[in-house]
Structure 1
C-alpha cells in the first residue's frame, strides 16, 4: 500500500464535484416540471371529462327525441295513412279512435291541398297548413314553432307525413314531452340543454322557444364555447348541451388535485432517492466540518529516504481523522467527497499550515545530503480555487531557508495542458515550490506527460515496486531513464521488503518510501529516528 494513496485518493466518479449539486438541481427541476405537467394535464383532463359528458348527454337526448318521433310516426301508420282524402264526417269516429293510440301528440290532422280539413279532436275545420309549415313538405318533415293557432303561446313540434299527392297527416307533438326529455340532461349535470330545428327555432329544457333568428343573434353574442352538439341521423334536428363554467372549474380542480397528488408522490420518491444517494455525503461533510472546528484532524508523516545515504531527506504529509465516536477514520472514506465540496480549501490549507510548521522542526533534525523537503498532496480541484496559490505561498513563507515544499499532483489531472495550470506551475516554481507527479504508471499515464509539464520528481506507484521481485526491473529502468532524460528524480512508493529496497539501490533510484522504512506517524517519530554515522539510519519496521 502506498502512503500517498491515503491522502487525497483519486475519485473514481467522473464529474463528482458537480454531481451532488447537479443531481439536486435536476431533481428539483424534474419535481417542479412534473408537478407543472400534472397541473396542466389535470386542467386538460378535467376539461375533457366535462366535454365528454356533454357529448354523451347530447347523444342521449337526441336518441330520446328520436324515439319519441319514431313512436309518433309509426303508431297506427297504415290505418291513419288511409284517412287523408276521405270526408271528415265519415271518418271522424275512426279518426278519433286511432288518435288514442298515438302518444306525445296534442292532435292528428288530415291535410288536403295545403289545408287542414279535419282534426281528431275538433272534427271538421278549414285552416291553412301555413302556421305549421310555410310550404307543403314533399317528404316527412318536422318543424318547431312557438305556438299553434289554438294555443299561440305553447310551443309545439309539427310532424308532417305525406300520404298521396296533395294529401297528408299533420301530427302536433306537445313540447312538454320534448322539454321533459331535455330536462334529463340537466339532471345529469348540464346547465343548459337545447333542441334546435335548423331554420325554425330552438327549445330549451325549460320549455322556452326561441326563433331561429333570435337564437343565432344570441349565439353570436354569447361568450365562451357552445358546448357539445349531436345531430339526429333520421330527423332534421340537433341537441346542444353545455355545462356551467363552475362545473368546468370543479372538474379541473378535481383532476388537478388527483394528478397533483400523484406527481407529489413521485416527487417524494425522487426526493427520497436523492436523499438515499446524497444525504450520507452531506452528513459526512457536516461531520468533517465539525471535526475541523473541534480539532479532530491531525497530520502524520512518512519519511522519504535518500537511498544513497540511508538518511531521511524529507517527509510526505498525510491527513488523519480521529472521530470522537468512531475513532480513526481512513482518508479513503471522506477525502473523495471533500474534494468535491467547498471544504477542500480548508482541508488543503490545514495540511499546508500544519506541514510547514512541523516540517520546519523536522528539518532541523535531518542530516541528508540534499535539501529537506515536505511533500503535500493536492487535489485536482485545488488548481481551480482562487486562493490556492496564496495558500501555498503562505506555507512557503513559514518554512525555513533550505526546506523545499513539494506539491504532489495526480497524473490524471494533467491529461491536458491548460494555460491556467501552466501559470500556477510557473508562479509557484518561481518561489521555490517543486512538483511531483504522483502514482506515475497507473491509469492514463504516458511518457509524453513528463515532457509537457515541468516536474521535478516522478513518484513510481507502489504496484510497480511490488513487481520488482517477480517480474524484474526492466520497466523501472525504462521509467528511470526517461525521467533522467527530462532532469527529474525518482521516488519509489510502497517499499515493503528488504529485497525491494536493495533492487532500488542497484537501479540507482534516488528516493524511496514505504512501510519497510517507517509507517506514517507524528512529527516526533520522524525527528527521533536512531542516528548512525552522522545521519538518520534506515530502520526496518515490521509490517
Structure 2
C-alpha cells in the first residue's frame, strides 16, 4: 500500500515544513500522549496548589510564632519586673507584725507596677495586705505549689474581688515566710490584645494544669478543651506559654498570596508543557489534517508495480502502492505520512481508499487473466471493527480470475492470537490470499510460517541485492523453507540482469523490481501491458 523500498519505484522523499516524521513516538498511541500530557498538567496544578498551601501554612505558623514570641517576652518582662522591684525591702517586711509594716507595705506597693495588691505570708497564711491591711487567708486559696521558690497561678478572682481574673505570684523568702503578688489580669489581657493588631486571634496566656487568660480578660480552667490548631510558644523564663492562632483575614491573605504565586507558576509550567506538546504533536495534527483533506480532494492516488514470472517475465500480478501529490509540496514520501496515519483514526479511510481504488482500477484496465492484486495492510487494520467486511466487499466485487492478496509484515504476526487466526480463516475461505512481506528483516523463524496460513513469502530487497555477490545460498535456504510449507516466493527489489539470473537459478518463481517495471499509474501500466500476455498464477 505504501512501500518505499526500491522495489516500489522512486518516490520524492519530500517532508513538508513541519511534517517531518518524529521517530520514537510511533510505538505509543497519540491519544496516550495526549492523556499523559493532560495528566501531567493536572499533577502540576495539583502540586502547585499543594505547594501554595504548604508555603501558606509555613508563613502562618511563622507569623504565629513571631507574635507568640514577642508576647511571651513581654509577659516575661512584666513578671520579672514584679518580683524584682523593691524585692529586698519587701522581703524584710515578711514575718513582722502587720500593724508595724502596713503603711510601709502600702508605700512599697506603689513602686511595683501591674499589681493590684501585695500580701505578706507567714506560716502558710496571708496576714497583711497592702490594700486591706490585716487579713487572715490561707495561702492554699491562691493555689501555691509547695517547695517552689517562685510560683505563678491564674485565678478567676479572689475572695475580695470575685469574677476579676488575676495572676498571682508567690515568692518564698524562707521556709515559713514569703511575699504574694496579685497581678491585675486586665494588664495581661491588654498586653495580649496587641497581638490582634498583628494578625492573631484567640490569644491567651496558658499555665499547664491551671488555666488560661485570654486577650478579652476571660479565664478558662485547664479542664476546658481548646482548639487543636493553636500554636503554642513557651516562655523562656516562667512556666507559662502563649497560645494563639492567626486571624482568618491573615490566613486568607496568605492562602491567596501563595495560591496565586504557585498557581501562576503552575499555569506557566503548564503553558510550557502545552507549548512543548504542540511543538511535538502539532506537525502530526497538521499532517493528518492534510492527508484527510488530500483524500477528499483527490491528492492521494495508487500506483502499481508488476510482479512477474521470473522464467517468462510475464506479469502475474501487481502490488498497489499509495502515493500523495500535494499541490504545494509536490510528491510526499509515504515514509513521512503513513507512520502517523497508522497510529490514527484516519487509517481506516486510507486503507479503504487503497483497497477500493486498486480493485476498481485494475478490474477496469487489465484485461488479461488471472491477475493478483497485492495490497499492504497495517497492523492496526486487523484490530479495526469492520475490516473483514470491507475486505470481503472488495474481494467479492473483483472480476473472475482476479484475486486479492493482503501483505503483512512479519513483526506483527509473531504473537499469535485467536482474533488474527479468525481473520485469516474467514478471508481465506472467501479466496483472499496472504503474503508475509519483508521476510527476513525482523525475527523470522520456521514456527512463524507453520502457524499462519500464508500463500506467499516476499524476500526483502536487501537480501536480493546480494544474491549475485555471494548471497545465493541464503536465498536458496529461504526457497527451501518456503517450499517445505507450500509457499510461493517473491523476490523484491530486483534491479539487474545478474540478480534476475541468480534468482532464476535459485528457483525463485516470482520477482518484482525496477528491472521489470517501475510503479506506474493504472492508465500508464495498461498502455505498456496492452500487447503483453499474463501468465497464470
The alpha carbon displacement at 1:33 in A equals 3.5
Are 2:8 and 2:513, in contact at CA under 8 Å, matched by a contact in 1? no
Q: State how far apart, in whole Å, the 2-side matches of 1:388 and 1:243 are.
A: 67
Q: Distance in 1 between matches of 2:220 and 2:425?
A: 94
Q: Alpha carbons of 1:313 and 1:235: their partners in 2 closer, same or farther (altered >3 Å)? A: same
Change (3 A) 1:237 1:466: same
Alpha-carbon offset, residue 350 of structure 1: 0.9
Between the aligned partners of 2:106 and 2:142, the Cα distance in structure 1 is 27
Q: How far apart, CA to CA, are the structure 1 residues paired with 2:234 and 2:432?
A: 91
The two structures have a TM-score, normalised by structure 2, of 0.86
Q: For 2:134, which of 126, 139, 146 is the aligned residue?
A: 126
Are positions 1:343 and 2:315 aligned together?
Answer: no
Match of 2:472 in 1: 473
SS state at 1:386 partner: coil
- Residue 16 of structure 2 is matched in structure 1 by none
Q: 2:188 aligns with which of 170, 175, 178?
A: 178
- Structure 2 CA distance for partners of 1:6 and 1:398, relative to 1, 3 Å: farther
Q: Comparing 160-169 with 34-43, which one deviates more in the overlay?
A: 34-43
Q: Which residue of 1 aligns with 2:215?
A: 205
Within the candidate set 305, 322, 336, 1:319 is matched to 322
CA deviation digits over 1:178-235, x for unaligned, max 9?
Answer: 22321222122112212244566543213x24363xx74xx45x7x546223444653
**In the aligned structure 1, how far is the partner of 2:201 from the partner of 2:28?**
57
SS of structure 1 residue aligned to 2:213? strand
2:9·2:518 contact (CA, 8 Å) conserved in 1? no
The alignment's TM-score, normalised by the length of structure 1, stands at 0.85
Q: Verify the 8 A CA contact 1:132 1:143 in the aligned structure 2.
A: no
Q: CA deviation at 1:520?
A: 0.9
Offset at residue 383 of structure 1 (A): 1.2
Q: Assess, with a 3 A threshold, how the Cα gap between structure 1 residues 507 and 176 changes in structure 2: closer, same or farther.
A: same
Identify which of structures 1 and 2 has the higher relative contact order when contacts are C-alpha pairs closer than 8 Å and 6+ apart.
2
CA distance in 2, matches of 1:198, 1:423: 81
Deviates more, 1:317-326 or 1:35-44: 35-44
What's the counterpart of residue 277 of structure 2? 274
Pair 1:462-2:471 in alignment: no
Map of 2:18 onto structure 1 = none
Note the aligned Cα RMSD (angstroms): 3.3
* CA displacement at 1:91 relative to structure 2: 5.8
Are 1:237 and 2:240 an aligned pair? yes
In structure 2, the residue matched to 1:308 is 311
Q: Secondary structure at the match of 1:191?
A: strand
Please say if residues 57 and 188 of structure 1, whose CA atoms lie closer than 8 Å, have aligned partners that are also in contact: yes
Distance 2:420 2:370 in 1: 26
Q: What does residue 291 of structure 1 align with? A: 294
Residue 74 in 1 paired to residue 78 in 2? no
- Report if aligned partners of 1:304, 1:312 keep a CA contact under 8 Å in 2: yes
* 1:460, distance to aligned residue in structure 2 (A): 0.9
- What 5-or-longer segments of structure 1 have no aligned partner? 538-543
Residue 437 of structure 1 deviates from its aligned partner by 1.1
CA distance in 2, matches of 1:22, 1:294: 30
Question: CA contact under 8 A between 2:30 and 2:344: conserved in structure 1?
Answer: no
C-alpha separation in 2, matches of 1:443 and 1:135: 92
How many angstroms does 1:107 deviate by? 4.4
Counterpart secondary structure, 2:514: coil
Q: Contact 1:459/1:491 (CA < 8 Å) preserved in 2? A: yes
Please state whether the residue corresponding to 1:432 is helix, strand or coil: coil
Inter-CA distance 60–463: structure 2 relative to 1 (3 Å threshold): same
Q: Does 1:412 align with 2:411?
A: yes
Q: Deviations over 1:412-446 (max 9, x none)?
A: 11112222222222222222222111111112122
Which of these residues, 354, 357, 362, is aligned with residue 359 of structure 1? 362
